[in-house]
Structure 1
Amino acid sequence: MISLPARLGALALGLALVTAGCGADAGGSAAPAGQTVQTLRYVAVGAPATAIYDPHGGVGNQSDLTRFALMYDVLATLQPDGALEPRLATSFEPDDQLTTWTIRLRQGVTFTDGRPVRAADVLFSLNRIADKAAENFGRMAMFDMDASRVVDDHTLELVTVKPYAEVPRALASFTFVIPEGTTAFDRPVVGSGPYRMTGGNAQRAVLERNERWWGERPPTPRIELMAVPDPQARAQAVISGQADVASSVSPATVQQVSGNPGLKVVHRPAVTMYPFVMRLDREPFDDPRVREAIKLATDRQELLDKVFLGYGKLGNDLLTPADPSSPAGVPQRTRDVARAKELLAQAGHADGLTLELATTTSYPGMDTAATLFARQLGEAGITVRVTTAPPDTYWTKVFAQSDFYTGFFGGIPFTDVARVSLLSDSPTNETAWHRKDWDAAYDEAMATEDEARRREALGKLQRELRDEGGYVVWGVGDGLDLASSRVSGLPDGPGFDLAFIEQVRLDG
C-alpha cells in the first residue's frame, strides 16, 4: 500500500509536470516566459492509466469528462432543476409525430484552428457516438442515424426510431462536437469549447482560455486538470495548498475540515447512491416476497448516518428522486423486521436465508454500506456474506452479472437510467427487469408531447419499479467537493453538471 505522504509526493510531482508541459502546443500557445498566469488547479476523480482523448465512447473518468466539457461544445446542458439550457444548438423543433427533429445551430462559432463549426461536424460527431454504442451504453439508440441529414451549414434533421418527446434532453451534456473527418484520437482533438488544451497529457492536462469562444468569457485564464483516483489524496492536495479544488471527497474529510476558514465545501445535493441490486431472474430474488422483505429489513436511517454521515437524505427505493418526473407523495418505506420475517416465511424461508453480497471500494463508503446492510438483514433471519472485489475488476466482473451486489448511480436523468438499465433491450439491464407492458408504457410516455402528462406517466413507471423491482435505494448522498476559500462558481447540480466548470473563478 502506498502511504499518504508518497501519494502526495506523486501528486506534487504530477502538478509540477503539468506546469512543465505548458510549452507543448496542442492548439494554443503558452504564456510568455516569466509571466504569471492565474491558474485553477483542479484534481478530479480518475485513474491515470485509463485516461483517454476520445470524447465519444465510454467516459469512465470524471477527469476526462471535465476536460472534454472544457474543450468541446455540446448541443445543450441540463440546469440543476432539470431545465434545458441550449449551448451550440439554439432550438430543437419536432414535427407533429415527434419523429423528425430540426436542430438549428449557433452561427459564427469556430474551432480553435479557425474552421467554422457546421452542421456536418455535429452530424459526424453524433454518428461517431452512435457507432461506439457498445462503449457508451447506446447513448444514441433512440435515433435512426441513417435517416438523419444535414439541411444546411447551421441546420440538421435528426430522425428517431419511434416518437420521442425528450430529444433535447437526450442530446444534452455528452454531445461533444469535433471536426468532420477526424480520425486520430491518440492526441487532443480540436474543439470549439471555452478552453483549449495547450500542454500536459490526458492524465495531467493544461487548458488555456479560448478567447474566441462564443459564450460568456471564462474568468480564469488557465486550468490545470489532474486525474487522481484516491479521494483522500485529492482532499489532501487542497488542504496542503497543492490544488484549489478536489472533486468528490469523503464525508469524513468534510467533517475534519469543518471550521477551517481557508477551505469551503460545495454540496451537490442528493446525487450519489449505492443501491443494493437484486436480479429478478435468479433465486431467491425471483420471488417478490423476498425482495419486499429485504427492502423492509433495511434500516435506511442508520445507513444514511454511518455511510454518508448525514450528508444526504433517506432513500425510498426511487432511482432518480431528483428527476422532474420522480413521483410525488410516495409514502416513505420504513423498517418493519416483523413483516419482513412474515414475508420470508410465506416464501418458504421460515428457517432463514443465506445470501452473498458483493461490494467494492470504488467510492467512499460502498464497503461500509454493504457491511451494515448485511448486519441489518441478519436481524430478519437473512445471513449475508459480504465479499469485496477490487475496483479495477468490479465493474467488469460483478456489475450487471452478480445476483446481489452494491451498485452506483450518480444523479443522471430517469430517461438515461431507463435507456441503460430498465427497458427489456437495455444494454445493461442489471436487475433483469423485463416487462413488455412497462416497455410499452414507457414508449407511450415518450410519445406524449405534453410535458406535464409525460412526467406523470414516467412517474407511474418509477412507482411500479420502486414497488416491484430489484433495487434497494436506502439513501441518496450529497456530492462533496472541497475547495480553497478563494474559489467560487463551482457547479452544484446533479449528474453531468459537475463537469462544466468554465465559469469557476479564483478570487484574490
Structure 2
Amino acid sequence: MAIEATNLLHLSLLQVDITQQKYTGALAVGLPTTRLVGDSLTQLDYCLRPAAAWDDGHPVLASDVAFSLKLIFCPGLPNEAARARFGFIEAVTPDPINPRQFTLVCRGQSTEYLLASGDFFILPEATLDPRGQLRHFSLAELQQRPAAAPADTVLEAVAQRYATASKGQLPGCGPYQLVKWEKDRRLSFRRKPMWWASQGRPTPFVLQAKPKQLEYVVIPDAATTTLALRRGDLDVYPQMPAREFARLRASSAARATLNFYSTSSYDVVLAGFNTRRPALADALTRQALNRCFDAASLLQATQLGGGQRTVGVISPADRTNYNDSLPLVPFDPDGATRLLRRAGWQGGAAAGWFRAGPLGVRQQLRLMVRYRADETMFATIALQFQAAAARVGIPATLRPTESGAFTAALQTGDFDVYVRILKGNPFMFNYIPIFHSLGVGAGNTTGFHTAASDRLIEAIAAANGQTQRGQLLRRFQALMQQEVPVAPLFFVSNRIAADRRLTGLHVNSLKPGYSAATIERAPQPSPVP
C-alpha cells in the first residue's frame, strides 16, 4: 500500500508505463539524451514538461530536481538505501537558459543509468528549503561529507523541515491529495481538481488519473476481506492468498460478479541469515540451513503450485539473466548435518550443535526466526523450517512480529533468520543497496559483504550492455548460492479479484500488480421499463 500511496502523491522524472512494459517520461518530457565523456563519465540531458507545476501554480524546475537529489544525501535523514542507489550521480548542472533543462553527470558508463537516473521522487524546494540554503552545498560535497563531520545548522534545519512535513503530507506534484489517514486502517485520496497534467491531450498513461477518489482499507484477515469483496464493500482485492483465490474462483456466484486475474511477478520469497552473528558468519553453516527449507512443498502448500522455484533473486522468467546452469537447492536434512560437521560443529540431534569460536568462546547453534505476523505464508515457511531444523538438532524459536517492528528488527539486526518477500523488476539490477557493504545498516539487512561480492555488484551496476551485464549476473547468482546470505525459495504469482464492472486495471507483473489511477467503473444499465 505504501508504494501505491506514494505514486499517487508524487512523480519521478521517469516512471514505468505498464501497458508497454518500459520506462517513459513522467515529469520529464521523455528519456534523457545520453552523452559519454571520455571513458569514465556519462552525461544525461533531461527536460521537464512545460506544464508540470506544484499545487500553488509554480512550475517544477531543475532546481527542484537538484534539491531532491541533495536531500537524499542530507545528513540526519534515514535515506541510506537511496544513497546507495543514486550514488552514481555526481552532479546536477542546470541549463543556463532554460530553467526546465538540466544535465545529470554520472560516474561510469552503465547503460542502466538511462533509467535509474530518473527513478526518484521530485519534491518542492520552495516548501522544504524556502531560503534555498541547500544550494550552498554541491551534491558531491554532501555525498563525501564524513559521518563524523560537525553538525551543520543549515543541514539540520532542512532535515528537520523534511521530517516534520513527512509526518503529515509531503507536498507533491502527483494527481492526488491525501484527505484521510487512519493508521493501519484506512487511506483516502481525492483527485486534485486542477491538476496540471489533466489539461494535456492525449494524456500519457503514467499521467492518467481517472478515479475522482481512491480509498484503501486495511483488513488483516483474508476471509474478512473476501466477505467485504463479495458484499460490494471492496472493489479490488490485490495480492490475494492462493487458497482464498482458488476457493472464491470456484464459486459460480462469485464468478457472476467478480473477475479473477493471475500473472507472474518479480517478487521472490526468501529467508535471510544474519551474517553478523558469529554462528552464522560462515558459508558452510548457511548452506546447511538452506537445506532445511522444503521449497517445493512450501510452494505447493502456500501457492498451490502457482509460482516458480528459483536458484536466486532473478526471476526464471528472465531468460537473459537467470542462471539456469545452477541446481535448485534440495531439501536435504542429512546433507545439512554433513555440512554442519564440515563447518566445525560437533554434536547434533538431541545434544545440539556446538563449536569453538574466536578466542575460544563456545558457540551454540540456536536460531530466532522473525517474520511478519500478518502473513500466513511466512508462518507456514517458518514452521516447516523449525521442524526440519529440530530434526537436525537445531532449536529454532519463532517470532511473529508486527510489520513496523519487523522492519525495525531487520534494521537493527535483531534476528538470526528472517522470512520475507523481496520485490524486484525486470528493468534494473542494482544490488548495491541490498547486498553491498554500502547498504549495511540500511537495505543490506543480512550484513553480508565480501571484497569479491562488492566488486561484482559494482561491475553489474556499471555494466555497459546487456551481454556483459547478463554474464556478470550469472556469476553473481553463482556466488550468492555459494555464500547464501539469503535462501531464495520461490517467486510468487500476483492474484487479484475485482468487481466485474471495473475496467482499466491493467493487471501486470510489477508491484502492486495493477493500476489504481486508471480504473473506471462501467455505467449501470438502465432498467427496462
TM-score, structure 1 normalization: 0.76
Q: Determine whether 1:66 maps to 2:15.
A: no
- Mapping for residues 159-170 of structure 1, pairs under 5 Å: 159-170=105-116
The match for 2:92 among 148, 153, 156 is 148
1:96-126 CA distance string (max 9 Å, x none):
3344322233333334543333222333333
CA distance in 1, matches of 2:105, 2:220: 43
Q: Is the Cα contact below 8 Å between 1:247 and 1:480 reproduced in 2? A: yes
Residue aligning to 2:143: none
Q: Determine whether 1:117 maps to 2:60.
A: yes
The match for 1:222 among 208, 212, 215 is 212
Q: Which has the larger radius of gyration?
A: 2
Are residues 311 and 133 of structure 1, via their aligned partners in 2, closer, same or farther at CA, if it must alter by over 3 Å?
Answer: farther
Aligned sequence identity (%): 19
Unaligned runs of 5+ in 1: 1-61
Question: What's the CA shift for 1:439?
Answer: 1.5
SS of aligned partner of 1:265: strand
Residue aligning to 2:69: 126
Q: Determine whether 1:91 maps to 2:36.
A: no
Are residues 281 and 116 of structure 1, via their aligned partners in 2, closer, same or farther at CA, if it must alter by over 3 Å?
Answer: closer
Residue aligning to 1:483: 498
The match for 2:176 among 181, 196, 215 is 196
Unaligned runs of 5+ in 2: 129-164, 354-364, 524-529
CA distance in 2, matches of 1:132, 1:483: 44
Q: Determine whether 1:104 maps to 2:47.
A: yes
CA distance in 1, matches of 2:277, 2:189: 49
- Mapping for residues 317-396 of structure 1, pairs under 5 Å: 317-318=312-313, 325-347=321-343, 348-349=345-346, 351-352=348-349, 353=353, 354-356=365-367, 357-396=369-408
Q: Determine whether 1:180 maps to 2:114.
A: no
The match for 2:190 among 182, 204, 207 is 207
Q: Is the Cα contact below 8 Å between 1:113 and 1:190 reproduced in 2? A: no
Question: What's the CA shift for 1:329?
Answer: 3.7
CA distance in 2, matches of 1:140, 1:469: 25
Residue aligning to 2:458: 443
Q: Determine whether 1:428 maps to 2:443.
A: yes
Question: What's the CA shift for 1:415?
Answer: 5.6
Q: Is the Cα contact below 8 Å between 1:91 and 1:105 reproduced in 2? A: no
CA distance in 2, matches of 1:474, 1:330: 14
Q: Determine whether 1:253 maps to 2:244.
A: yes
Question: What's the CA shift for 1:423?
Answer: 0.6
Residue aligning to 2:160: none
CA distance in 2, matches of 1:476, 1:198: 33
Q: Is the Cα contact below 8 Å between 2:90 and 2:107 reproduced in 1? A: no
CA distance in 2, matches of 1:448, 1:146: 18
Amino acid in structure 1 at the alignment position of 2:27 = L
Higher relative contact order (CA 8 A, sep 6+): 1
Amino acid in structure 1 at the alignment position of 2:341 = A
1:191-234 CA distance string (max 9 Å, x none):
443x3328445743232264325535747341322241525344
Q: Is the Cα contact below 8 Å between 1:77 and 1:87 reproduced in 2? A: yes
Greater fraction helix: 2
Q: Determine whether 1:238 maps to 2:226.
A: no
Q: Is the Cα contact below 8 Å between 1:165 and 1:446 reproduced in 2? A: no
Are residues 451 and 153 of structure 1, via their aligned partners in 2, closer, same or farther at CA, if it must alter by over 3 Å?
Answer: farther
SS of aligned partner of 2:91: coil
Question: What's the CA shift for 1:464?
Answer: 0.9
Question: What's the CA shift for 1:351?
Answer: 2.3
Are residues 307 and 497 of structure 1, via their aligned partners in 2, closer, same or farther at CA, if it must alter by over 3 Å?
Answer: closer
* Worse-matched range after superposition: 481-490 or 180-189: 180-189
SS of aligned partner of 1:237: helix
TM-score, structure 2 normalization: 0.74
Q: Is the Cα contact below 8 Å between 1:231 and 1:248 reproduced in 2? A: no
Residue aligning to 1:19: none
1:241-300 CA distance string (max 9 Å, x none):
012113333223212311322123333423444322112343432332222222233211
Question: What's the CA shift for 1:304?
Answer: 0.9
Amino acid in structure 1 at the alignment position of 2:216 = M
Residue aligning to 2:516: 501
Are residues 410 and 383 of structure 1, via their aligned partners in 2, closer, same or farther at CA, if it must alter by over 3 Å?
Answer: same
Question: What's the CA shift for 1:414?
Answer: 8.8
Question: What's the CA shift for 1:361?
Answer: 1.2
Residue aligning to 1:139: 82
CA distance in 2, matches of 1:236, 1:74: 37
SS of aligned partner of 1:473: strand
